[in-house]
Amino acid sequence: MSLSAKAENVAVVRHAIAGLAERIGMDEASTADLKTVVTEACMNVVVHAYPEGETGLLEVDAMPDSDGLTVAVRDFGSGISPRPGVDRPSLRIGLALIAALSSSFEIRGGVERGTEIRMHLPLTARPLPDGEAGRAPSPPVPEATELTVGPPELVGPVLSRALTALAARHEITIDRISDAMLLSDAISAAAPSRFADGHVRLSILDRPEGVELKVGPMASGAADGLRQSLSLPDVGGSLETLADEVRTESDGDGEYLVVAIAATAS
């Protein structure tokens, strides 16, 4: 559907989408949720997408699948930005309601690029049995800060900032933090070639005794190759001396290069 972003047109969209929902067999509870989220998304366009006094375009796509209905509500305004002085509740409340009622929900767009709100509603609302928790199990929290960074030119800026931010929590001197930045730059330059897709996988473990950087998992031989790349043949040394410990290790997933930066002793 393509129509002008006027408040009176929101009802047109809502009824058209509800007719589609009924045709594909969506139950009454899910249809009610669908009408609510579509109304909220369209009203966000009407109230927030375009400058006051200007009528813009409202587009709505509805795509049935075997599980339910995906609806995308799109504008071509200046991006999500609540306007002051409107009587309607804040934009954040509308988006929170959409997220709560949808089985999946995402926002796309940016400044001066318009906004698309995409949501999926199941064919059948599934109320939880009595006594069952309403929250899905949370994924495990990792012990370390885990990063996957690519393409290669992004690895250096991301790794050096993350590593130095964690190192700065400890009593580590400015010189040692500078050493950590030099070491991370060298690792960032050599690491992408050790990963098939060029996306470097690493973790930074923050411990009382200092910070430990772990690069990997990598294929067999890659950790040793990465370690060797730290050597300085012209001066007969290695950047390994900038760290308190450098080692390679392996597990069932692959090989790792581990670099430790110790906190200053009290």
Could you read off the pLDDT tens digit of each residue along the chain, which spans 266 residues?
999 999 999 999 999 999 999 999 999 999 999 999 999 999 989 988 888 888 899 999 999 999 999 999 999 987 655 555 545 444 445 778 888 888 888 988 766 678 999 999 999 976 655 555 555 666 787 888 899 998 888 898 888 888 888 887 887 788 888 888 889 899 999 999 999 888 999 999 988 888 899 999 999 999 999 999 999 888 778 999 989 999 999 999 999 999 998 887 54
Quick check: is 239 in a domain?
A: yes
What pLDDT does 81 receive? Answer: 56
What pLDDT does 168 receive? Answer: 79
What pLDDT does 143 receive? Answer: 85
Asked if 62 and 107 sit in the same domain, the reply is: yes
HSE of 182 in the Cβ direction (CA atoms, 13 Å)? 13
HSE of 99 in the Cβ direction (CA atoms, 13 Å)? 8
Asked if 115 and 158 sit in the same domain, the reply is: no
What pLDDT does 91 receive? Answer: 45
Q: Give the DSSP letter of residue 87.
A: S
What pLDDT does 90 receive? Answer: 42
**Strand, coil or helix: 154:** helix
Asked if 72 and 20 sit in the same domain, the reply is: yes
Quick check: is 227 in a domain?
A: yes
Asked if 79 and 160 sit in the same domain, the reply is: no
- Quote the domain boundaries for residue 172: 145-262
Asked if 157 and 46 sit in the same domain, the reply is: no
Asked if 106 and 172 sit in the same domain, the reply is: no
Please say whether the dihedral angle defined by the alpha carbons of residues 108, 111, 113 and 117, taken in this order, is positive or negative.
positive
Quick check: is 130 in a domain?
A: no
Asked if 65 and 176 sit in the same domain, the reply is: no
**Strand, coil or helix: 179:** helix
What pLDDT does 99 receive? Answer: 84
Quick check: is 210 in a domain?
A: yes
What pLDDT does 207 receive? Answer: 85
Asked if 97 and 155 sit in the same domain, the reply is: no
What pLDDT does 80 receive? Answer: 59
State how far the alpha carbon of 22 is from the alpha carbons of 64, 201, 210, 233, in Å.
11, 47, 60, 73
Asked if 94 and 152 sit in the same domain, the reply is: no
Asked if 112 and 25 sit in the same domain, the reply is: yes
Quick check: is 10 in a domain?
A: yes
Quick check: is 132 in a domain?
A: no
Asked if 155 and 202 sit in the same domain, the reply is: yes
Asked if 107 and 157 sit in the same domain, the reply is: no
Residue with tokens 């999500």: 80
Quick check: is 128 in a domain?
A: no
Q: Number of folded domains in the chain?
A: 2
Quick check: is 137 in a domain?
A: no
**CATH number reported for the structural domain that contains residue 250 in this entry:** 3.30.565.10
What pLDDT does 55 receive? Answer: 84
